[in-house]
Structure 1
Amino acid sequence: MQFWEITTNMEDREQQREELLVMDSIFGHDGLFTSDDKQMSGMISVSPELQRPLLVKPPEPDKEPLSVSALPPICIEFTLPEQYPLEAPPTNRVTCSWLTPTQMLKIWRHLVTLWEQGQGNTVLYEYTEFLRNDSIAFLGLEHELDVSFFVDRARTAAAAAAAGPPSPAAGSSPPRSLNRRASVEQLRARYRLTLPASASVHRLLETHQRQAEAAEFGRRRFPCKVCGEERAGSDCVRLTRCGHVYCRDCLTAYYTVLIRDGEVQNLRCPEDQCPEQATPKEVRDLVGDDLFERYDTILLRTSLSAMTDVVTCPRAHCQKPVVLDPGDSLGRCAHCDHTFCAICQNAYHGNNPCAVKSAERLELVRQYRMAGAGERADLERRYGRRQLQRLVEEVDSAAWMSDHSERCPRCRTPIEKIDGCNKMSCTKCGTLFCWLCNARLPRENPYTHFNVPGSKCFNQLFAGVVDGALLDEELGALAFDELGEEEDLPMGFFL
């Protein structure tokens, strides 16, 4: 009798090892089955297959139901006793993040029934097929999944924590909530059930649905709407707000150019007539952290610039937003204590008009001349009417001098030529220079500059002079300078 029992146990163990090996070869590569042949234990982790999308009741009644086409796995942790499979079923622990204790208990009992119906045969494969194909119908969840149990459980726990430990009177029975909790703990201990976290079941189902959709997307192939090439889903991006699909390379290049050009408010879908913008998470995933920081900074500045009562601290190391008092141009940064004028971004100057930088004068005068009545009034309030009028006069004067004068090559004083030859003398420093090429002329004989053959000023001393009397006067002065005395020039003499 003892020999027969030992032989039977050895046969059982051999059959168990063979079953674990077969299960691992079928389901191990997908992560659905893991085992330890030394302890004769393992885990089956299978997601039920849904024939149609399942509606999940939301935690709050005013929200829309969640539609899921994939569910997180139901797990069975098993240990094979020595008498399995002939005389004893596996010892099972059922775990699931979205089933109630009652539902898990039904599954646990059905696992025992499957072994009993097998009349001593191995049942791990039947467990797997049951979880995959029949568990949803077995629990009556073909159309709707109710997770209100977990919400009620979380609220009960929160209320109990807020109220503190109860102190019942002598001889009184414990509260109903405590009785219910004790019964749940008894179920857990008796049937080896593992209860899920109570407050996040709905979020878990929603997250799992997104992950399942992403996995399915990665297995498919899509034509890129930019380059036209067909790419694997793992190399593509589906924009969340509109659902259009592009290859990652094209979308990255497109958004990179826009961000570098400062077009951060134009990161929309490349599809024609599609107004949807990319989400910040999609932008970060595509362009990386460094370029996303530029995108985020420019977007923040653009948004703040649209607010009339918010400006940015002008200090380069600060750049924090500053809220202004209504009608006041005084900005005081709470981060670095800098006070500044919110209009010109310079140090605060009280009621004095804002100073105008030299590089901005031409543009400011152009704006002032082209502005309407309202815009002109805003500019006068900001810079002062007298200052703007003076700027207009200075710009007009500078433009006239630029067209009608040449600067001295030594002291840069503007020199106007009214008449006479092209040998000029600076009224400030006395430097002699050529009106045509601005070259400095030697004081001992400045006219030789105009007698060098091949130069652009050769024979151009009187270029532009049309008055004959003035020409004769200049010729006479030239002759006197070169001969040292007044005498008649011979016929045919030329410079």
Structure 2
Amino acid sequence: MADWEEQENELLVLESIYDASVFGVRRGNKRFCHQGHFLARIEVPKPFHVLVPRVNAPDEMQEIALEHLPPIVLDFRLPPDYPSNSAPFFCLSCPWLTIKELEQLSQALDRSWAQDPFTVVLYRWMNLLDTEASDILQLKSSHSLVPLFKELSRLRTFPFRRPRLKKCYRYHGWGHTDIRIFKEAVDPQTLATFLTEYNSQEKRRLFDLQWLTCQVCLTSKQGCDFELMIGCDHPFCRDCLREHFRIQIESGCASQLRCPQEKCTTQVLPTQVKALVGDALGSRYEESLLSAYLDSQEDLTYCPRLQCQRPVVLDPGLSMAQCANCYFVFCLYCRMVYHGVQPCRLKPGEQRAIRDEYLSATPAGKQAMEKRYGKRTLQLLVDESLTQDWMQENSKKCPHCSISIEKQDGCNKMTCWRCGTYFCWICMKALRSSGNPYQHFSDPSSGCFNKLFEGAEEIVEEDDHEFGEFL
């Protein structure tokens, strides 16, 4: 009865010390013993990485950087006469340790019991695995798993002869004598994936327990309310990140969706966006990424028909393309129906932009534009646009017939050469054709009062100066 009470007291103490995620127990009774398990998380050196053979090239090593390793599992069963007469039965297992390394830990547990026998020992064992296992195993910054896979390869081909020990020796081999060691055979790729996934899960578990300040809303929250940006690990609270994603997508800036951290250029993955904003907005984000990718491809364009707009693959060296969906054949330059060797027809709004581009282009650029639009077409466009620019700066339109008129000299009372309308050059107001058209300049209520010869003196002075050069 004393052993049973000591076992109960020990288990109660352990349950108060350790979290349920690392320590669990299944209570027994007079017929069945107490059983339980403990997960010992080893603290690894920093930095730390394991060496795993590559699947297709076993002689080459793959380095996997890790911060956390899967725990060593201690399964125990308390016999009825523990602790007064017997030690607990136990079994050790760990996917990344060899049988020899597990035996070293098993022997360390035996020594711990031998140092102070017939007293409760579970806490000492758990503390030993937690704090001393790294030293016992002599873990360094680089840990090779090659011996583990060589051992597993040998065990897979081991012949079975003794049925009674078949279960124990199934993976361990006849050289293994400690039946308290359990080892499961796994291939290198499976173990590498498992180690990587566990490392990520453990980092997230520890992160969830922290308290952090969101850099967007400046609110302190627990880590479980935060989202780590994939690719850069910058943390932001889910509420802020969800709203940031929603605004960017709905405003049409989805293709520029980046981590909110200042100066960070990490692009957000569609899976993370969809997990926060839902399938509808997530699908819009994926479509915008696809569209941005297609726009960046030089050998892709879109069908110019508004009802189609499907991507079209371009043939190198050709100035035409055909949509595979609607079979529309179009010119790559003007986006109109293909016109063969005829130059592209320019829209009025495009003429000035094309002229500026042509005038500022390099010789190679001008040659390419001449091939696209035609040299004569571009020359006429340049001449016409330059003429229009000059006329806008140096002429005015008749207020009656809108013909362009240039003033060379004289007073500000002008006469249209086409329709004969009198008008004021200053205010462009049509003057009376009957009576005195100069009344406009002598009327005190007029804005052009006494301005009949405004500007004419400068012209006269300039002419006098030019004439004086010949004297």
Show the counterpart of 2:447.
456
Secondary structure of 2:330's counterpart equals strand
Residues 219-266 of structure 1 deviation map (CA, whole Å, 9 limit, x = unaligned): 999xxxxxxxxx99x89999979xxx99989xx9xxx99xx99997x9
What CA distance in whole angstroms lies between the structure 2 residues aligned with 1:95 and 1:360?
A: 75
Show the counterpart of 1:225.
none
Show the counterpart of 2:244.
none
Flag the 1:45–1:372 CA change in 2: closer, same or farther, 3 A: same
Equivalent residues in 2 for 1:227-376, closer than 5 Å = 278-280=265-267, 296=289, 300=293, 303-304=296-297, 307=298, 309-311=299-301, 322-334=312-324, 338-376=328-366
Flag the 1:262–1:110 CA change in 2: closer, same or farther, 3 A: closer
Is this contact kept in 1: 2:270–2:286, CA < 8 A? no
Structure 2 letter corresponding to 1:340: F
Secondary structure of 2:19's counterpart equals helix
What CA distance in whole angstroms lies between the structure 1 residues aligned with 2:400 and 2:75?
A: 96
What CA distance in whole angstroms lies between the structure 2 residues aligned with 1:430 and 1:383?
A: 42
Show the counterpart of 1:393.
383
Is this contact kept in 1: 2:83–2:120, CA < 8 A? yes
What CA distance in whole angstroms lies between the structure 2 residues aligned with 1:187 and 1:96?
A: 17
Is this contact kept in 1: 2:99–2:181, CA < 8 A? no
What CA distance in whole angstroms lies between the structure 2 residues aligned with 1:120 and 1:318?
A: 84
Residues 292-314 of structure 1 deviation map (CA, whole Å, 9 limit, x = unaligned): 8799569636742xx4x444555
Flag the 1:186–1:443 CA change in 2: closer, same or farther, 3 A: farther
**Aligned counterpart for 1:124 among listed residues 122, 125, 142:** 122
Unaligned runs of 5+ in 1: 1-7, 158-175, 222-230, 272-276, 469-495
Residues 353-409 of structure 1 deviation map (CA, whole Å, 9 limit, x = unaligned): 223332332232233234343222111101101110110121122012212322345
Show the counterpart of 2:43.
49
Does structure 1 residue 402 correspond to structure 2 residue 392? yes
Identity of aligned residues (%): 30
What CA distance in whole angstroms lies between the structure 2 residues aligned with 1:335 and 1:464?
A: 65
Shift of 1:56: 2.5
Show the counterpart of 1:145.
144
Secondary structure of 1:364's counterpart equals helix
Is this contact kept in 1: 2:343–2:373, CA < 8 A? yes
What CA distance in whole angstroms lies between the structure 1 residues aligned with 2:151 and 2:430?
A: 97
What CA distance in whole angstroms lies between the structure 2 residues aligned with 1:106 and 1:319?
A: 69
What CA distance in whole angstroms lies between the structure 1 residues aligned with 2:123 and 2:355?
A: 86
Comparing 206-215 and 380-389, the one that deviates more: 206-215
Flag the 1:298–1:28 CA change in 2: closer, same or farther, 3 A: same
Flag the 1:280–1:263 CA change in 2: closer, same or farther, 3 A: closer
Secondary structure of 1:57's counterpart equals strand
Comparing 370-379 and 86-95, the one that deviates more: 86-95
Shift of 1:197: 5.3
The TM-score normalised by the length of structure 1 is: 0.61
Secondary structure of 1:58's counterpart equals strand
**Aligned counterpart for 1:59 among listed residues 47, 53, 59:** 53
Equivalent residues in 2 for 1:133-282, closer than 5 Å = 133-136=131-134, 138=136, 144-147=143-146, 149=148, 176=157, 186=168, 193=182, 195=184, 198=187, 199-208=189-198, 278-280=265-267
Is this contact kept in 2: 1:262–1:298, CA < 8 A? no
Flag the 1:59–1:319 CA change in 2: closer, same or farther, 3 A: farther
What CA distance in whole angstroms lies between the structure 1 residues aligned with 2:399 and 2:294?
A: 46
Flag the 1:372–1:138 CA change in 2: closer, same or farther, 3 A: closer
Flag the 1:92–1:156 CA change in 2: closer, same or farther, 3 A: closer
Equivalent residues in 2 for 1:411-490, closer than 5 Å = 412-417=402-407, 422=412, 433-439=423-429, 449-461=440-452, 463-464=454-455
Shift of 1:81: 5.5
Flag the 1:278–1:95 CA change in 2: closer, same or farther, 3 A: farther
Residues 167-220 of structure 1 deviation map (CA, whole Å, 9 limit, x = unaligned): xxxxxxxxx47859x988555898694737543212333455567778899999
Comparing 352-361 and 182-191, the one that deviates more: 182-191
What CA distance in whole angstroms lies between the structure 2 residues aligned with 1:98 and 1:146?
A: 7
What CA distance in whole angstroms lies between the structure 2 residues aligned with 1:270 and 1:28?
A: 38
Length, aligned pairs only = 421
Show the counterpart of 1:4.
none
Flag the 1:21–1:403 CA change in 2: closer, same or farther, 3 A: same
What CA distance in whole angstroms lies between the structure 2 residues aligned with 1:185 and 1:335?
A: 64
Residues 35-91 of structure 1 deviation map (CA, whole Å, 9 limit, x = unaligned): 455895543112123467665332223245445554221223445465544456556
Residues 318-366 of structure 1 deviation map (CA, whole Å, 9 limit, x = unaligned): 7766442221122334466554322344443322222333233223223
What CA distance in whole angstroms lies between the structure 1 residues aligned with 2:124 and 2:170?
A: 24
Is this contact kept in 2: 1:93–1:191, CA < 8 A? yes
What CA distance in whole angstroms lies between the structure 1 residues aligned with 2:186 and 2:305?
A: 50
